[in-house]
Amino acid sequence: PSRNIRNVSNINIPIKTIATPYTMNNEMLYGAWNGSIQMNDGSKAGRFAFKFNNGVFWLQDAGGASVASGGFKIENNNFSSTYSYATGDSYRISSATYNANTGQLSGTLTGNGINAAKKGNWVVIKQSN
């Protein structure tokens, strides 16, 4: 018996998008990051910027001046830092996710000591090396 064999071509098969892998390290973090932060007090989202330079995390004000600093560590493909102002106020910042396709880094901020109730979520994009 003969069989009808038909070649099928031009079939649209969905392609699964695979996230670009990344390794968080000093080289990846080095430079200036800029974005916004939303605090848990219901206030309007504000500017949030920092940079990594010379092994230090530097929080920056709107003019780009460093206003607080601290060491940082990289663990499980994320970073964390406890940074302090000259007044002694300190905060802990941690990254939670990084999207290598968009360059968007996000995470959380938590106050220490008298600022323990202050918490927020931030998102930034790298501006320069």
pLDDT tens per residue across span 95-127: 999 998 899 999 999 999 999 999 999 999 999
- Helix/strand number for the chain, H first, E second: 1, 9
Confidence of residue 17 (pLDDT cuts 50, 70, 90): low
pTM: 0.80
CA-based nearest residue to 68, from 96, 48, 89, 39: 89
For residue 36, the model assigns a pLDDT of 97
| 104 Rama class: left (phi>0) / alpha (psi -120 to 50) / beta | beta
